[in-house]
Copies of this chain bind each other. A is one copy, B any other.
Amino acid sequence: MNFRSDNTAAAAAEILAALAAANDPHAPAYGEDQWSKQLDVKFGELFEHEVRVFTVATGTAANAIALASLTPPWGKVFCHREAHIERDECGAPEFFSGGAKLALIDGPHAKISADGLREALARSAADIHAPKPAAVSISQTTERGGAYAPGDIAALAEVARDKGLALHMDGARFANAVAALGCSPADISWRAGVDILSFGATKNGALAAEAIVVFDPARADEIARRRKRGGHLFSKGRYAAAQLLAYVDNGLWLSLAGRANGLAARLAEAADPWLSQPVQTNQLFLKPGAERIAKLRAAGVGFYDWGGRECEEIRLVVSWNQADAEVDALAQLLRALR
């Protein structure tokens, strides 16, 4: 019963098959192949907007390259205190940007609100001695499984635009948000004011396929340069592209994410008394007490402690390919612990 993370899950059969299908004897290198070339078209349709799509190896690379293009080295990027870019990327945004700073904002469910952003901006000195506010980065879904509604994002974007800040979205679990919100990809990206989206597929069925989706073509050249210098321009670009094409083909990405979300909802019901966060997507956070945590572990459930020892909080992540039987077993276990 492995609920550690969705990055422990396998690749979807459709995506593996796409690799084989792209295995023509020869194809042009460095993104000139037919699969890479389809990316802008297919994602343009998906997002109902002209886009430029840049594949990279990891979500960290997508975030760091995107942010580096949105802030000068002396800039300040506002994000939630629990953001992946702050906690889990070993300073990649600082490295790629040449030393920009992350300014941390608090807020429930690992979300930042328009008011939270406004206050953080008000606290930011405007003189030459302080880094210059340059961008906002939000995670969709958040590190606590929350999803920003289109209106949440638009409100943030308005505050940002007002101060000349760009808006970045870390969409490592973008599919789970779209599936949960039932909105269109456009509604929670460019239409709500997002400038660049890190579009993740790895956690939801790809092997290793992340994309930087740029909604303003004027930003594309810089992304291309930063990707190349970061060692993220694949020579055999077709394999990353093929994964992404298969991922969005026929709504595969949303059925996979929807399934994970649905299973998580089932677990949420069972774990209801101990939920420490509302369950919107495929992550659950519980505070069931030390004894129950021990019992879950003893029963062979795999998961991570969250946020240090005192708080006795745990995280369960449901993957796209989580076996129904595992979910049922865990649900039963949880009910038995009530």
Contacts and interface: CB of A to CB of B under 8 A. Distances in A.
A225 interface: yes
A152 interface: no
Contacts of A125: 87
* Copy total for this chain: 4
Contacts of A323: 25
Interface stretch (A15-23, A135-143, A328-336): A15-23
A235 B8 CA distance: 8
Contacts of A230: 61, 92, 95, 230-231
Given A57-B234, A101-B94, A10 B23 contact: yes
B233 A128 contact: yes
Interface string A204-224: 000110000000000000101
B73 A234 contact: no
A27 interface: yes
A202 B100 contact: no
B101 A91 contact: yes
A224 B74 CA distance: 11
A131 B92 CA distance: 9
Given A19-B19, A90-B74, A239-B207, A58 B229 contact: no
B101 A98 contact: no
Interface residues of A, number: 77
A225 B8 contact: no
A60 interface: yes
A225 B60 CA distance: 13
A91 to B, nearest CB: 5
A7 interface: yes
B58 A235 contact: yes
A207 B25 contact: no
B91 A19 contact: no
A24 interface: yes
Contact of A91 (B30, B57, B60, B74): B74
A232 interface: yes
B74 A236 contact: no
29 contacts: A2-B26, A7-B30, A7-B235, A8-B26, A10-B25, A10-B27, A11-B23, A56-B231, A57-B58, A57-B208, A57-B231, A58-B231, A60-B233, A65-B231, A74-B91, A74-B226, A74-B229, A87-B130, A90-B129, A90-B229, A92-B229, A92-B231, A94-B100, A123-B308, A128-B233, A203-B235, A207-B239, A208-B236, A208-B240
Interface of A: 2, 4-5, 7-11, 16, 19-20, 23-30, 56-62, 64-65, 72-74, 87-92, 94-102, 122-123, 125, 128-132, 202-203, 207-208, 222, 224-226, 228-236, 239-240, 308, 319, 321, 323
